[in-house]
Amino acid sequence: MLTPEDARTRAHDIVARATAAGADAADAVYAADASLDVSVRLGALEDVGRSESAEMGLRVFVGHRTASVSTSDLSDDALDTLVARAIAMAREAPEDRWAGLAPSERLMHGAAPLLDLDDGGTASPQELRDVALAAEDAARAVPGVTNSEGAGASAARSVWALATSHGFANAYAATGYGISASVLAGEGGAMQRDYAHHSARHRAHLDAPEAIGARAGAQAVARLDPGRLPSGPMTVVYDPRVGGSLLGHLIGVIGGQAITRKTSFLLDALGSRVFADGVCVRDDPHRPHGLRSRPFDGEGLPVSPTTIVEDGTLETWLLDSASARQLALEPTGHAARGIGGGPGISTSNLYLEAGAMPPATLIADIADGVYVTELIGMGVNGLTGDYSRGAAGFRIVDGQIAAPVAEFTIAGNLRDMFLALVPANDLVFRYGTNVPTVRIEGMTVAGG
């Protein structure tokens, strides 16, 4: 795998080849990764997987026409062929007056912020096997656990570089580690499954495998003998493990493409109240060793912490350069790139700010509600805001978490749900998107 410095040079080189060959502008992405995954089941090694890849993606512009190509053959001859093919394709492409590189005056200059994303470490198959076995052993030791779907441990390192003909070239490396366990509780047709996992940029920041396994086992046992819910209006409380999906639905309708295509139920909501008073949603690309931290965006723009919702009010769209031009606005540093195609929109470390009350207080006055720990399906309409998802979890009775329930649907409209959302104070940063426990009044439950 190339060093970040060599990756940056490689991306810059193919951009220079493209402009020398006749492209009016170009940008290139170099992405490489190496990963090692080990899985175990019932105390025995099940699989060891190792993968390595390196790819180059090139996007060229000829006037207002553009084309993208990619390759895993990084030899000089192959790259020359790639450049020629991209330019030929661009000359035949339809015109897109909004397409183009990010404005040169907006590009990040100087040293990239130090985000501590690469711990420089490695892990052997034996070390990962021992970690996976420890997680599974802890899960299987929980009384009531009867079988295992397995446990796993992984280690990976990646290098990502971006160069543009407007004068940007930079790269960074990141490591990632993970531990997971999935087990079954109960017997026969009454079995219930649950899992636990943890990921971190630094190996030293991972939860102990024993803690992950014990959590998986306890969660599976807690789901045994689920009951059914009656149908009707009900207060719904989302566990932090699934509540982050609500922010995902928000981001899906405030991104540039949703706004320019007019496919968002929040199309006219900028600057207006979309959540209750006090609710704040933020995005922090500079969080040290964050799972989605990054020093620059997919177009070479600098990134910075962004307030998306402040005191309930929607403060910004999330825009790449093309959507910003179409809306006569400025790009927001949320462009994301893959090897092929143009930029899309992505957040970094997205989170819903913690509220004032602990979860126990949040549910204390709920006489009859449901605490959701699992969501199934994706019945969400970004144009209308209509929301309907299968779920499982626990009933709330007289302010207390009670018996498990399953096979029900929760429904509402995201516009009303956002306005009714109340966060607890238990925010913990464990995922790319993080929320505390949240409560939403007035949803409709369809029981089994």
pLDDT tens digits along 135-168: 999 999 999 999 999 999 999 999 999 999 999 9
What's the confidence (pLDDT) of residue 332?
Answer: 96
Supply the range of the domain harboring residue 262. 226-448
Whether residue 326 contacts residue 260, with contact meaning beta carbons closer than 8 Å, is answered with: yes
Flag whether pLDDT at 448 surpasses 80.
no
Q: Are residues 46 and 163 in the same domain?
A: yes
Give the whole-angstrom CA distance, residue 196 versus residue 136: 11
What's the confidence (pLDDT) of residue 342?
Answer: 87
pLDDT band at residue 318 using 50, 70 and 90 as cut-offs: very high
Q: Are residues 335 and 364 in the same domain?
A: yes
Flag whether pLDDT at 314 surpasses 80.
yes
Q: Are residues 217 and 289 in the same domain?
A: no
Flag whether pLDDT at 59 surpasses 90.
yes
- pTM, full prediction: 0.95
Which of 148, 171, 168 is CA-nearest to residue 158? 171
Q: What would the two tokens of residue 199 be? A: 């990921």
Last residue of a domain, one of 197, 221, 245: 221
Q: What is the CATH number of the domain that holds 39?
A: 3.30.2290.10
Flag whether pLDDT at 126 surpasses 80.
yes
Calculate Rg over the CA atoms of the chain. 24
What's the confidence (pLDDT) of residue 155?
Answer: 98
Q: Are residues 92 and 214 in the same domain?
A: yes
Q: Are residues 178 and 233 in the same domain?
A: no
Residue 282: partners with Cβ closer than 8 Å, 6 or more residues away: 305, 306, 307, 308, 350, 351, 353
Q: Looking at residues 69-97, what average pLDDT do you find? A: 94
Name the percent of the chain lying above pLDDT 70: 100
Whether residue 222 contacts residue 239, with contact meaning beta carbons closer than 8 Å, is answered with: no
More confident site: 446 or 447: 446
Flag whether pLDDT at 84 surpasses 90.
yes
**CA-to-CA separations, 182 to 137, 146, 148, in angstroms, rounded:** 11, 12, 6
One-letter identity of residue 137 = D
pLDDT band at residue 1 using 50, 70 and 90 as cut-offs: confident
Q: Are residues 447 and 329 in the same domain?
A: yes
Q: Are residues 267 and 137 in the same domain?
A: no
Residue 122 CB neighbours (<10 A): 12
Give the whole-angstrom CA distance, residue 17 versus residue 356: 56
Flag whether pLDDT at 112 surpasses 90.
no
When divided into structural domains, the chain yields a total of 2
Name the percent of the chain lying above pLDDT 90: 95
Which of 113, 172, 136 is CA-nearest to residue 39? 136
Q: Are residues 356 and 241 in the same domain?
A: yes
Give every strand in the sheet of 313-314, ordered side by side. Answer: 313-314, 306-310, 281-283, 350-352, 433-434
Residue 189: partners with Cβ closer than 8 Å, 6 or more residues away: none
Q: Are residues 242 and 115 in the same domain?
A: no
Q: Are residues 422 and 285 in the same domain?
A: yes
What's the confidence (pLDDT) of residue 293?
Answer: 97
Flag whether pLDDT at 183 surpasses 90.
yes
Environment class of 355 (CB within 10 Å of its CB; exposed 0-12, middle 13-18, buried 19+) = buried
Last residue of a domain, one of 195, 221, 247: 221
One-letter identity of residue 204 = A
What's the confidence (pLDDT) of residue 188?
Answer: 87
Whether residue 166 contacts residue 107, with contact meaning beta carbons closer than 8 Å, is answered with: yes
Longest CA pairwise span in the chain (Å): 72
Q: Are residues 275 and 213 in the same domain?
A: no
What's the confidence (pLDDT) of residue 181?
Answer: 98
Q: Are residues 261 and 182 in the same domain?
A: no
pLDDT digits (tens, 9 = 90+) for 184-237: 999 988 899 999 999 999 999 999 999 999 999 999 999 999 999 999 999 999
What's the confidence (pLDDT) of residue 110?
Answer: 83
Last residue of a domain, one of 221, 250, 285: 221
**CA-to-CA separations, 247 to 65, 70, 244, 270, 379, in angstroms, rounded:** 35, 32, 5, 16, 15
Report the mean per-residue pLDDT for the chain: 96
